[in-house]
Each structure stands twice: as C-alpha cells, then as structure tokens.
Structure 1
C-alpha cells in the first residue's frame, strides 16, 4: 500500500489502516509502507534524490514480500501513491494495481502544492535550500517538486489488471485513461462518492469512505487465493528493530506495546549508550504518533541523538493502537486520560526511571487533566487550551474556535462556572510534585484565556510553584513552521536539564 504525501498523509491514515485490515480479513497479506523521509521511515524529505529513493523503497518492499513466499503482488496507491504504483508496476512484476483517486499528472499536482504551500524566509531556512516550500509542516524541496512535476503515465508499460477508482465530484480521469490504454494494462474504472470525507477535511473530521474500501476489496478478491504464504500467519516479516543514522548518531527504533490495552508506540534509542531519560510524545489533534508535519519524529530523533530514549505513542482508536470501540480518535477524547496513565504506569513498571511527557494542544490538555496522579517526572505542555471541557465541540481552525467561544448562547470564555473549574485545575497543576512547563505561541488562545479571564500576570518566563509559563518566539500553534521547531526542542531540553537529565 502506497500512501499519499503532504497533509493528505494525515487525513487518509485511518482509511489506509482500515483498508489494510479489511484486505487482511479477506485473505490478503498486506504491507503498508512509509517512503523514506516520511512517517516512521528513516531519512528526511529534504534528502537529495528522495523521489528515486521512494521508487527504490517500493521495489525493496515487493522484494521482501516475495522472500516470504508471496507469489502475487497488487499495488494499492492513493493519490501520488497511485501514480507511483502505475509507474512501478512493471518493475515489481505486479499482477494488479489499484490507482485510488490518482494524481493524474505530476505537473498539475505540483502547481496545486505550490498554491497551497508557503516559502520560509530565506534567512530562516534550516533545511532544503532556496525554493523549498512548506505545507502543514511538510517539506517540499525545489528538487522534489521538479521530480514530482515530471511524473506522468506517458511511459507506463504493464500487463497488470488496473482499477482506476475516481471520485464523481471531480473532473473525470478520461484523458488519464486514454493514455493508459496504450500501456498494456487491463483497465477498469469506477467512480464512487465519499472521497471528500477523507481528502477535503482536516484530520479532526476525516472519516473512512466505506464504499471505496468495499470496492477495492471486492475488486482484489480473486487475487486473495494467489497470495501464497500469508505474512500474518508466517511471521516472517517481523523485525525487532531498525538501525539508522540521524544527526551523526546511530539510533535504533522498535515497536512497543504499553499498558493493559496494548497501546502502540515507536521507541527510539541511542545505539551506543544507556538512555538518560524517557521522553513520551502523545497524539496531537487527530494525527497519528508521528505528530503534525512529522514533528514528533524529528524531535524524538534529535533527542535520541543526544542520549535520550523517546517514544511516540498512539491512544486507543488513534494511529496504530487497538480501536476498542474508540475509532476514529478525536481531540479531547475522555478515554485518552486513562491511556496517559496506562503509558506512565507501563513505563514505570518496566524500569524507566525518569519519564517526561510532551503534549501539544489536545494532548497537552489530556496529560494535564489528572496530572497529580500521573507516574511521571516532568511535563511539557505546548499550547494547552484549559478552557475546553469534555464534550465540547472540536473545531478544526482557530477562527472557528474563537467564533464558538464567543457565541451568545455559549460565552465559553466568560462563563463563571467554567472559569472557577479552570482555576481549581490550575491550583492542582501548580501543586504538582513534578515540574510542568507551559509553552505558548505568542498571543495563543490558551495564554490569552489565562491573562484575560483568569487575571494571571504573565510576562516572559513566569513561575507559579511547580508551573512555569513561557512564550515561544516564532513557532506556531501546530508546529507547522518547520524551520522554527528548534524552539520546541530547546523547550524540551530546558526541562530535561532542570530535572537533572
């Protein structure tokens, strides 16, 4: 399974997991991959020759599958993954290709990316070089954009069966299909409604288009009997850990399961020394454990490179953790508070002696909700919005949040009972047995509430017993300004150093 890139990676993550599980139940062995520099894979998106590496990743994945006894391979690609699948079908000897809502021309796709993205100030660039663009924290170098622009189906040659799964609310792939007719592929086209619910909405609202999944599973059903030995049954594809270099240091990563509900995390360790402390990154918004714009991967590996253990973990219903009736995960899910306790308890019981939690927005709120009982040694809360309560509607954008807060029938900010509840909560936070650092974007809604509604005087770094409140100079609320993420790294290191780690 070949995912999309950019923001579409996050909005479609749940749908791709659901499809993989549905295909597995139908008898297929399924491998979901992250290309180099994306998701949990090694490398960075600004590495030279990255598109060539992505093609190599797909080839190596097919090779590894065949080593397990698989005899028939189908490539299922979504958006840019669909265009890559068609271009690589012959090289990996695929028997079938599903081009799901395909990018039909690289040139048009790059123009869309350029319209939606922004360019960092030249004097602020830390990665990528001149011409690098950023979209929701994702990095697109000028080299990558040029390589993507050159992608097309003009040279595709394959005898595989190919399903082109379109969306009827967008222009037809008629021209795309005409070009593919000369490729030798056995083509079929379907147009099914519902793609908008995973592609045209923020991750907070994204849902799985069930009709699309059913169509793909039905179309691939005849191939299920040709798969050979199943990976799920054979276990031949399991690997305990991966080894790679990052920031000049050798690191190892492995999957871990934590707590009674077997929450899934990716643990990153320095390869050559005993870790100094464990830093746990919790889900943000509705993104999986890699964080917004891959922020948790970048920060986690930077910390591991200087000697810390880091774990990027999913709550129930999020990312790769068991659903247990909670999928899809949403910000401020009440069960996430219990999940945070499970994580802390599991790490304490296995012997991690210094545990620091890191949360952003909703996960900052989750980790603070019952912090006086958490078995941890420190907490970094980026942009916590303490005025939210369980059951409040979750809005995808700051303007929507502001509008809801100030509705005549809500008056969230000025509600006396809500302010009293937040004040009591703050008193518990300030009395915590471990240090807690709040870090806010300048003029963030969270710090405005503390100042304007609770009357707190906050100027620069301000301490209230165990609680210290700070403002970030340049990093935005969602950490999408990738070139300013060093501020987040410095904030985490500051608390680690204060706690003697």
Structure 2
C-alpha cells in the first residue's frame, strides 16, 4: 500500500528546516535526507496570501519533508510584509518587489543545494508569481501551479466576500472590519500589492520558454479549465489534475486537511522530470550559522532548538537596553509562529521596543515544526504540548535571558500556557487570552450549549450528520459535560456530592491557589461574549467574584472583539497590557497588580 503524506508525517522524527538568511530575508532550507540520492532538482515554495497562507503552512512543510526523502532539497520563505518577514520597502513596491525576493531566494536555494535546475511550486498568488517568473529565471525547469489566481481583480472581489463571511462568523462589528483591498481576518495586504493585482491576468502572461507545468485545478471552475486550454494551446508540457480537497484545506485553518492524494501526484510528477535523475553538484556553501535580521529596535534570530532540533522558533531581542524580562509566545494548533493576523509578530516587536526579549515558536506538528511520533494528529488542547513549552523554557535558560519570564497564549495556546506555568515553577507570570477551560474533559473543541441547541435545527448540520462528517460521539460527550456542569453547579450549595462533578470546582481552585502561593502573576483576558466564559463562570461565578481569593490574578474584559482578537484595536490593547505586565516584572517593586480593565 502506498504510504500517504500524513502517514509519513506521523512516522519518524526529524529536525525542523534549517533557517538561512539571504540579504534581509529569511528562508527555511530543507536539505535532501542523508542516504537519499542528491537530485539536481530543487523546489522553491511560493506562498499564497492571507488565510490561505496560514492553511498551507503545514502542507508546505509536509511536502518539503517528503521531497527530502527522495533527494530533492527545497526552500520556503515569507514575502516582505507577510508572516515573519520584515516590513520594509520591497512590500511597498508591490508584486515586482515580491518577484525580486523570489529571484534572490532562487539563488540561495541553488547555492545551498548544489542543484542547477529549479521547480517553483506555488498556491494562489504564489502560483501566479511562479508563472510570471518563467521569463526571468533561466534555471527554471518546471512549475507547479496549485489553484493559481488567474485574474487579480476578480480575486480581490473574492477576498472581500470571503473576508465578510469570516467577519460574520467571528461576530465582528461592521465598524471594526478592515475593508482595505485584499485584507482578510486581520491581515492587511500591502497596498502596492493590491494595486498590482488589479491588472493581473495570467491569460495574458507571455511565457516565452515552455517549462513543464503541473496544474491543480479547482473542480467546477470554468476559469481554471479555460486557463488549462490556453497553456496547452501555447505548447506547454502540461500535467493537470483536480485539486481534490481544496476546500477542506483552505476554508478553515482550524480544520485544515492535508490533501494527501495531491501530494502523491506532485511527488510522482517531480520524479518524472528528467532533471530529477541527474546528480546535483556539491553545495557552494552551508546555511549561515546564525540566521538573523535587524531593524532599528530589534534583532530577530530564526532558529531550531530542542531534541533533534525539532522545534522552530524566532528569538526577538531589543537592540538597546534589555530590561531583564523574556516572554515566550505560544501558537494555537491552527496558526503558526507569526500568530493570527500576525499578532505574535506584532507583540514580539513591540516588546523588543521597550527592552523585552521574546521567543515565539511552533510546537510539534504545528506550522514549521515537525510532529513527534505517537502524538495525536490534531494537537488542539493537547497536554503533550506542555513538554514543548518546557523545552522552550530550557532553551531560554541556556541563553541566560530567563531571570524574569512571562508565558503568553491565546485559545488552545492559553490552555497550554496555564498548564505549563502550573507544571513548571520557573515561570514568573502568565497571560492567557480566551481560554475555553483550565482543565480539559472535552473531546475536540466544544461549543456552548446554546450553540449546540441552535445547530440542532440547522439543515447544514443535519446534512453533515447524515454524511458522517460530524463526530457524534464527541458531540454527545461535550453536551453531557456541559449539562452535568450546569446541574452540579446549581446543586452544589445544597448537595455536596455534586461539587466534584463540576469540571474544575475543586481542581481548578487548587491550581489557582498553587499559583497564588508561588506569587506567579496570572492575567486572564476574555473578549465579551466569548464561548470560553461559559466554563469560566461555572468555576468563578458570573462576574468572576470567586477570583477575589487570589490576589495574584487579574481579569480583563475586552469589548468589540472576537475570540482571535482580529480587530486591530483589540490586538493593540492586548499588546499594551502585555508590555505593562512585562515591565512590572522587570520592576517588581511597582507591584504586580495592574490597573487595566
């Protein structure tokens, strides 16, 4: 039986990709595996934009690891103004600036791999840029186009519609939505890029040379079919396939599914290229020992750490005085080290501006960090991530920057942060945003009782149940937990045996007391109306009145925001709170309670 990409992902452990720097840009280089024949073919991955980039981050890593197994090296990187990159002038030059960086990345890949023939593999905008590079990259042997953006003006309209759907689903008020062209889920497309997209039409791109092309078409889209026909008419050597699983990959980062069948086809196609069977030359050089980039107020070093160098992260340090405080910023299971709407990047750089260092990293199986064999495929609210936090703590200890520390997380990252601070007394403070629970008894990510009742009458939910797309066992368990918790909360004042039935009535309060005894500062942020408050109220009362027993705990309620802090004002408010908390750690005589609501 053919081994699928996901089976491979759950197999042997491996190191994270090797960070490398070219100019002021950072890349992640994956060399061919030891023992694999080194091919003269290397692959440069070109990112899509926005939510699609977040959804394909793990796909690109999985593909890079599969290619390494068959002797093909690869390089991944972020365009200027996106993800973990610097925000500087190439982003202001639009698509031409992005294309220039693609050219530099291609040269870096050839130098590091020794390969003389390249394949550009891109999705969305990345696929469009791959085709546009054909005339300017002489070493380009083939291109892989996954659901390319064909007409930029139509794409901007689609993004606007998708953005409204996301904002509606997140419950974001109309006045707080970002209506700039190309913006989606709190990510603002560089204006010059949006302007260039208005004139993009792949059907008018002059290819010149005729590289081999792999085209993954979105099923049922006439535009993709017409584009395929135009490539064939131009004499391109074309292999086409339906992009099976496209919607499941890009529609929701929380539930993204790796398209294993497409990965298999891509690997088979690459092995069929004549350049694959030619051995590569020796690499001209190795990746730099320290992959760092600089701006006026901070220095970011992209690195691997932990056993087998299996975790990937970014150390962000102030270029001026260090105040002696370091933050570790956790991801959720569905965004990567840059954070939702680049929130982790913004937070890290704002902290550096006031003298606070930080480490943001991907836990195993998330983003750019490979999985660990034996762990669940979906690491959402997974206790195993606590071990990764401990590794991160050991790492900052080894750097000598852990005199005073704060751990920060949102959603499932908030849960992992809370449990990690409890497990490890080395942490001085913890800031958690919208935790669903403080101890976990659910299966998967639960909804509120109100949401479950509302879905009972939703025809789409009925359809998904009928087709077996809903885990009925998980739904049943989660509803039962919610009902028992509510019933036990009401009975506990008069019926003592009911008290232990509430999820955290006794256990959570012991946890909170443990942190209070240590003097560890705990800041809890909820956005008004967030689902996580259902369990919080069971534990601490409707107004959080039972928190009064813990003087080390601060509760903050943010209005006009969603679970992910998508609106910019909410993210800025969280960042300001984190800065004050970090500075208070650096100056403990000022006290640990902050007057912010």
TM over 0.5: yes
1:114 aligns with 2:160: yes
Shift of 1:276: 2.9
1:402-436 C-alpha deviation (Å, 9 max, x unpaired): 86698468526515345252442134224412111
Shift of 1:277: 1.5
2:522 alignment partner in structure 1 = 436
Shift of 1:169: 5.2
Matches of 2:101 and 2:524, distance apart in 1? 40
Matches of 1:396 and 1:457, distance apart in 2? 21
1:20 alignment partner in structure 2 = 64
With over 3 angstroms needed to count, the CA separation of the structure-2 counterparts of 1:192 and 1:449, relative to structure 1, is closer
1:421 alignment partner in structure 2 = 504
With over 3 angstroms needed to count, the CA separation of the structure-2 counterparts of 1:280 and 1:225, relative to structure 1, is same
Matches of 1:28 and 1:307, distance apart in 2? 42
Shift of 1:212: 0.6
With over 3 angstroms needed to count, the CA separation of the structure-2 counterparts of 1:412 and 1:318, relative to structure 1, is farther
3-state SS of the aligned residue for 2:359? Answer: strand
Matches of 1:240 and 1:229, distance apart in 2? 25
Shift of 1:242: 2.3
8 A Cα contact 1:268 1:310, kept in partner: yes
Matches of 2:89 and 2:342, distance apart in 1? 10
Shift of 1:308: 1.5
1:156 aligns with 2:206: yes
8 A Cα contact 1:243 1:252, kept in partner: yes
Matches of 1:162 and 1:385, distance apart in 2? 46
3-state SS of the aligned residue for 1:487? Answer: helix
Matches of 1:397 and 1:87, distance apart in 2? 48
Matches of 1:323 and 1:370, distance apart in 2? 19
Matches of 1:329 and 1:44, distance apart in 2? 35
3-state SS of the aligned residue for 2:60? Answer: helix
1:88 alignment partner in structure 2 = 133
1:45-104 C-alpha deviation (Å, 9 max, x unpaired): 995223222111111111222334321011011122111100112212211001012222
8 A Cα contact 2:298 2:352, kept in partner: no
8 A Cα contact 1:27 1:225, kept in partner: no
3-state SS of the aligned residue for 1:457? Answer: coil
Which residues in structure 2 correspond to 1:474-485 (within 5 Å)? 474-485=560-571
With over 3 angstroms needed to count, the CA separation of the structure-2 counterparts of 1:256 and 1:309, relative to structure 1, is farther
8 A Cα contact 2:442 2:481, kept in partner: no
Larger radius of gyration: 2
1:97 aligns with 2:148: no
Among 58, 67, 80, the alignment partner of 2:111 is 67
3-state SS of the aligned residue for 1:280? Answer: strand
1:358 alignment partner in structure 2 = 408
2:491 alignment partner in structure 1 = none
Instruction: Give TM-score, length-normalised by structure 1.
Output: 0.88
Matches of 2:444 and 2:478, distance apart in 1? 13
1:205 alignment partner in structure 2 = 255
1:95-128 C-alpha deviation (Å, 9 max, x unpaired): 1001012222222211100112259999979xx9
With over 3 angstroms needed to count, the CA separation of the structure-2 counterparts of 1:132 and 1:83, relative to structure 1, is closer
Among 198, 218, 221, the alignment partner of 2:268 is 218
1:377 alignment partner in structure 2 = 428
Among 292, 299, 305, the alignment partner of 2:347 is 299
1:469 alignment partner in structure 2 = 555
Matches of 2:443 and 2:487, distance apart in 1? 14
8 A Cα contact 1:104 1:152, kept in partner: yes
Shift of 1:226: 4.0
How many residues are aligned here? 492
Matches of 2:277 and 2:256, distance apart in 1? 32
3-state SS of the aligned residue for 1:21? Answer: helix
3-state SS of the aligned residue for 2:509? Answer: helix
Shift of 1:13: 1.4
1:274-305 C-alpha deviation (Å, 9 max, x unpaired): 46321111112421221112211121112112
1:367 aligns with 2:425: no
Matches of 1:112 and 1:412, distance apart in 2? 44
3-state SS of the aligned residue for 2:586? Answer: coil
- Runs of 5+ in structure 1 lacking a partner? none
3-state SS of the aligned residue for 1:164? Answer: strand
Among 336, 355, 363, the alignment partner of 2:385 is 336
2:338 alignment partner in structure 1 = 290
1:110-153 C-alpha deviation (Å, 9 max, x unpaired): 1100112259999979xx9x845631221135543232232222
With over 3 angstroms needed to count, the CA separation of the structure-2 counterparts of 1:350 and 1:252, relative to structure 1, is closer
2:291 alignment partner in structure 1 = 241
With over 3 angstroms needed to count, the CA separation of the structure-2 counterparts of 1:441 and 1:44, relative to structure 1, is farther
3-state SS of the aligned residue for 1:38? Answer: coil
1:251 alignment partner in structure 2 = 299
